[in-house]
Amino acid sequence: MNRDGSLILPLHVLPEGILMPSTTLSLTVTDPDQIRMVDFAVRDEKIVGVVATDPDTGQGFKVGTAAGIMKLYRFPGDVVRLSLRGLYRFRIIEAVHGWPFAMARVEKLETVFPDDGDEIEAWRKAVELQLRRIMELTPGIPDELQMVTLLRDPEKLGFVAAGGLEAPVHEKQRLLEEDSIVQRLRILRDMMSHEIQILKLRDMIQSQVRSEMDKDQREYYLKEQMKVIQKELGDENENPEALELLKRLEETDLPDYAREAAEEEIRRLNRMHPGVPEASVTRNYLEWVLQLPWSNFTRDRLDLERAGRILDSDHFDLKDVKERVLEFLAVRKLNPSGKAPIICFVGPPGVGKTSMGRSIARALGRKFYRLSLGGMHDEAEIRGHRRTYIGAMPGRIIQGVRECGTANPVFMLDEIDKLGRDFRGDPTSALLEVLDPEQNNTFRDNYLNIPFDLSRVKFITTANTLDTIPEPLLDRMEIIRIPGYTEDDKMQIARRYLVKRQIRESGLSGRTIRFTPEGIRTIIKRYTREAGVRELERNIGGICRKNAVRVAGGDTSLVVVTPDRIPRWLGQWKFLHEPALSKPQVGVCTGLAWTPHGGEILFIETLLAKGSGKLVLTGQLGDIMKESARAALSWINGTGRAPGRDFSQTDVHVHVPAGATPKDGPSAGVAMAASMLSAFTAVPLRSDTAVTGEITLRGRVLPVGGIKEKVLGALSSGIRRVVIPGENARDLAEIPGEQLSQMEILTVDTLEQAVDMLLYREESDV
């Protein structure tokens, strides 16, 4: 002991549990440093400081128990077994360094007793009473713990009772750190009250379990007695349901492994009483096994010419999709045993992804089944539930196959990009096996628990975007992109399909209503803005329904849908397409933009003002578009294309109209550079020319996407001259020849070439 009353003790941190004063603890030590600590303590005063570990931080607490080493055993392999007894409480003052093990300077803690001895005695008796109750609820409690009730010392009683409770370390540590004996006993009382409640609940649960077990054993005994009585009377009949299922099994063509599983279940059913719940579960399982089309296949119609006619009659354009379907049919015809690839149609809503799946099924002569995956969170929707669950069923894949009645339907998994995941599982992971031709020949549903061959199923998936589809799943699919329709595409689709269908569904005929091409084009341009044709069909249907009211009222005269009549049915125009500029203007360049509903022109305006060299960008521009503007300004400044201009004294304001619409992307870089240069040099830009392309600080023009849509968007706005990056020249093959012949397409590789084509000069033919 030091002069200030402190002690220096070797420390041992308990990984689990806590040691209380007046209690014992057996401890096994294998760490070499801890063994050296034990040897030091034995040579010194045979006292070790023991502290518990804080479960939250993993560090030792500051208050612990000094323990005396009562027994020590050494075993081969550097293993030491200790028997410790708690002596008194202490608090760590500081760590003592320079030892190969933990040492600390500690101070001994004293217990504070109140002046009123009756109060302590009352608390002691209350704790003793609770302890006796715990012993009554805990059979087989050790004798040494039962002797605790004989302790008259309230301090020892509290520590020994707390040490025997199954309480969290935090609660026991709080009791150990408390100096007041009254407060310590109060904490112990709360801990023991909680322990008594748990023990009562445990007894109640055990009593209920015993009651249920006794009931089940009694039912089993009575059933066995009934069987013996029936056998003695010669009235032992087999389960008629089992006989019926066995007869159906003999008439059904099943694989050997499925037949063996079904026969085993039928034998189990035959041994059951018809009234037990398990019999119903087994019957449902056998019904599913027998109703599945294990070997029932639809014969493919591999006539390529017929399939091409069906696809053309159902869908306009979509050349890539139709070619891929015909390729599949050709391979199937030459190699019937080949594995079918998994196709994923990716495109905006309303372009015909789902209806293309139906057409493929019709062309093949197969059954069609559509499963919507949008918002699905539960993995059991794909794999099913195990039979142990109440109301268990197979997953949606097996359900769809049974509904089709064939083992090779066309199975469309719609909206695969909208799958969710949560605590119920990850459906995406379950689809990894379904959509892998190398694995799905042994697909195992949790409910069936026997393999089912899905390799003959033609799986087709659809998605609006690929960003949310995990890479492993995406790797299993062949991506076919379906772009949005152009204005001319929508025109053809409306004339060939939509108008006829809506007239027929409204109960009208060609004698009562007729749509002119100009009227259809007005609906497309003024009342819809979409990549697909759903809204277009809704508007055509709306006109037909309003005329159906007229015809139903007795007016059967012919109505011709022309542009000037459409507002009376659909109201005023909803959308206005930006017209081309009528004359060249300084600082205004015509750019091209791609949107999900097609291409359109975009005006970029630049205005200069005296200032401090700031660049102001407005029009709700994205980060990439802002970077293009900064790059354009740096190019003009760095190349000296605006001589005599003091950039440090000039503010440049670039604005893109339609500020409520977010805009982003690098393809406006050339247009921004031309707009700024026109403002700096006061040379106007040609109003009959639109431009697209990404730029670099060195003045290179890089390729961009959506060339087809952008060129057709310029054409619909009255622009016949378009400047595009040289590397995008290969994309012109996608533009129909009729529209391309009306355009003058200029290709550039540098900004110098682009601005020379865009700046208006008197000798230019505008």
* Residues 501-559 pLDDT 10s: 899 999 888 888 999 999 998 888 888 877 778 888 999 999 999 999 989 988 888 98
Q: Confirm whether 207 is a catalytic residue.
A: no
Chain-wide mean pLDDT for the chain?
A: 83
Q: 248-276 burial by CB neighbour count: b if 16+ within 10 A, else e?
A: ebeebebeeebbebbbebbeebbebeeee
DSSP 466-482: STTS-HHHHTTSEEEE-
Taking the domain 304-481, which CATH number applies?
3.40.50.300
Percentage above 90 pLDDT, the chain: 18
Write down the pLDDT at residue 632.
92
Could you tell me the pTM of the whole model? 0.58
pLDDT of residue 369: 92
- Kindly report which listed range (126-130, 180-184, 402-406, 750-754) carries the lowest average pLDDT score: 126-130
Amino acid at site 733:
A
Q: What is the tens place of the pLDDT at every residue in 287-341?
A: 888 888 988 888 888 788 888 888 888 777 777 778 888 888 888 888 877 777 8
Phi, psi of 703 (to 5 degrees): -70, 155
CATH no. for 487-570? 1.10.8.60
Over 80: is that where the pLDDT of 144 sits?
no
Q: Is the pLDDT of residue 612 over 50?
A: yes
When the candidates are 1.10.1060.10, 3.90.950.10, 3.30.230.10, 3.50.50.60, the CATH number that belongs to 588-758 is: 3.30.230.10
Separation between Cα atoms, residue 224 and residue 216, nearest integer Å: 12
Span 635-687, pLDDT tens digits: 988 888 877 777 888 899 999 987 667 888 889 999 999 999 999 988 999 98
Q: Return the pLDDT at 126.
A: 78
648-661 pLDDT tens trace? 888 999 999 876 67
Query: Using 50, 70 and 90 to split pLDDT, how confident is the model at 766?
Result: very low
The structure tokens 């040289």 sit at 726
Instruction: Kindly list the domain boundaries of the chain, sorted by start residue.
Output: 7-108, 240-291, 304-481, 487-570, 588-758
Question: Residue 141: pLDDT above 60?
Answer: no
Average pLDDT over residues 398-406: 91
At the second CATH level, the architecture of 7-108 is: Roll (2.30)
* Alpha carbons 435 and 469: distance in angstroms, whole number: 13
**Among residues 172, 490, 663, 710, which one is catalytic?**
710
Distance CA 675, CA 689 (A): 13
Residue 513's SS3 state is: strand
- Does the annotation count 764 as an active-site position? no
- Please pick, among 22, 506, 667, 678, the residue that the annotation labels catalytic: 667
CB neighbours of residue 149 within 10 Å:
14
pLDDT of 416 over the 80 cut: yes
For a pLDDT cut of 70, what percent of the chain falls above it?
90
